[in-house]
């Protein structure tokens, strides 16, 4: 018997939904590059239901308990007295989502004497100290591609929302106003603007494809250059450095993983290289940008707007400056946890568990760390090291909520 510890976000404040706006989900046969969707032997949930919260349990309880395993599900993840900390000590498997991450620091990994597998139900395993996982021989896996298109759609929405000044205009309606001049004073067209993505992997490339019909000039930086025919198809220009790209762009979108090479990439110096009045959209990871540099750039006008749904740490403390800085479009980390995405990453999590318990290989594209080294997707997308430092600040959100 194995013990599986699952960290999920809290239930809706009014309880689990009794019904949903839509009765079903569109059928998707394969991902855009041909990769197969998750292929578990079975699922014990209805696609389109809320699975990512505590009561949703990723639809795993019936399967795991039916096989004789023990499942512990909690949202209490931060601080030395948290349920996550207490239950981790003898857990064999830890499952967490990027939206409400159970930070697996080196200190926690050292205490987890039985830990063999850490699964990210979603994409992005930076909440795990990958170097510590490498050193202890722990396997780290994530459900690649499950919510890439979900995030790409969110990026396009946020770009349009910032440039067209959507959120402040909506606020005038809520306040009972009709202040057209106030709304229009910060509203522009995206047509003809230059937009660049930091990384052109599955999310970044999907963003470029969705922006092409808007007649924008497309740019990208990636350490792995796209094939020439893809560049030609998209009409996109490659840059050999982020610094070279951002100076040309009216809009920059960050779509790279967080690891030591990208940690704090957008500091005050990088933001200073951007066009004055540019927009920055970040649905990748909050720690890729300097928190205070972003707030200062919005105050000074160096940035005309900043939007995203990723913070560091997560959840963000109540006094996080991004909650109150001007001209922002921040949301909680929601881009990759639509009901559509949840169905895919819940199924992918079960597929990984089935492989683990059956002694079968986990898909190469799901692997981040295996056998004491970066493996599969991890070898392509990450660098060795740790990006979890500072995550203990997340416990302040809990303290603020109970004060």
Q: Is 327 a catalytic residue?
A: no
Gap between the Cα atoms of 55 and 85, Å rounded: 20
Tell me if residue 209 is catalytic: no
Phi and psi torsions of 62, nearest 5°: -60, -45
285 classed as catalytic = yes
Catalytic residue, candidates 165, 282, 314, 327 = 314
Which among 97, 131, 147, 282 is annotated as catalytic? 147
Q: What residue has token string 């909650």? A: 323
How far is residue 62's CA from residue 52's CA, in Å, rounded to a whole number?
A: 16
SS3 call for 331: coil
Both ends of the chain: CA-CA distance in Å? 40
DSSP labels for 17-78?
Answer: -SS-SSS------B-TTSPBPP--S--SS-TTS--SBTTTGGG-HHHHHHTT-EEEEES--S
Choosing from 285, 320, 328, 350, the catalytic residue is 285
Q: Is 328 a catalytic residue?
A: no
Which residues are paired to 238 by β-bridges? Answer: 220
Q: SS3 helix, strand, coil % of the chain, rounded to 5?
A: 35, 15, 45
Active site residue: 259, 333, 350, 396, which one?
333
Q: Is 14 left (phi over 0), alpha (psi -120 to 50) or beta?
A: alpha
At 323, list the tokens: 């909650």
CA neighbours closer than 13 Å in the CB half-sphere of residue 49: 16
Residue 361 CA from chain centroid, whole number: 26
Given a contact cutoff of 8 angstroms between Cβ atoms, the answer to whether 105 and 81 are in contact is no
User: Which are the catalytic amino acids?
Assistant: 147, 285, 314, 333
């Amino acid at each position: 018997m194995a013990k599986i510890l699952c960290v999920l976000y809290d239930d809706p404040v009014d309880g689990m939904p009794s019904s949903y706006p839509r009765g079903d989900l569109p059928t998707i046969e394969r991902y855009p590059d041909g990769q197969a969707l998750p292929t578990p032997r079975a699922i014990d949930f209805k696609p389109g239901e809320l699975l990512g919260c505590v009561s949703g349990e990723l639809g795993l309880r019936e399967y795991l308990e039916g096989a004789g395993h023990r499942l512990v599900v909690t949202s209490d993840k931060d601080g030395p007295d948290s349920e996550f900390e207490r239950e981790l000590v003898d857990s064999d498997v830890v499952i967490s989502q990027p939206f409400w991450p159970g930070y697996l620091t080196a200190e926690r990994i050292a205490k987890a004497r039985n830990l063999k597998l850490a699964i990210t139900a979603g994409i992005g395993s930076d909440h795990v100290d990958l170097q510590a996982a490498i050193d202890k021989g722990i396997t780290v896996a994530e459900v690649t591609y499950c919510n890439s298109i979900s995030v790409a759609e969110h990026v396009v929405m946020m770009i349009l929302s910032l440039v067209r000044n959507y959120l402040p205009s909506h606020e005038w309606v809520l306040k009972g106003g009709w202040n057209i001049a106030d709304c229009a004073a910060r509203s522009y067209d995206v047509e003809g603007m230059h937009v660049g993505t930091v990384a052109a992997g599955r999310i970044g490339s999907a963003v470029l494809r969705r922006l092409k019909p808007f007649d924008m000039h497309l740019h990208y930086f990636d350490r792995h250059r796209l094939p020439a025919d893809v560049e030609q198809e998209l009409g996109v220009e490659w840059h050999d450095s982020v610094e070279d790209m951002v100076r040309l762009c009216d809009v920059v979108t960050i779509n790279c993983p967080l690891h030591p090479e990208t940690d704090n990439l957008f500091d005050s110096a990088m933001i200073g290289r951007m066009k004055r009045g540019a927009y920055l959209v970040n649905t990748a990871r909050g720690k890729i940008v300097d928190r205070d540099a972003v707030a200062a750039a919005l105050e000074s006008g160096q940035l005309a707007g900043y939007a995203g749904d990723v913070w560091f740490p997560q959840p963000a403390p109540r006094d996080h400056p991004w909650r109150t800085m001007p001209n922002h479009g921040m949301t909680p980390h929601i881009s990759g946890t639509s009901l559509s995405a949840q169905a895919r990453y819940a199924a992918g999590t079960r597929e990984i568990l089935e492989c683990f318990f059956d002694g079968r290989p986990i898909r190469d594209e799901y692997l981040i760390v295996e056998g004491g080294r970066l493996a599969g997707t991890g070898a392509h997308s990450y660098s060795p090291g740790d990006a979890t430092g500072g995550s203990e600040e997340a416990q302040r959100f809990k303290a603020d909520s109970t004060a």
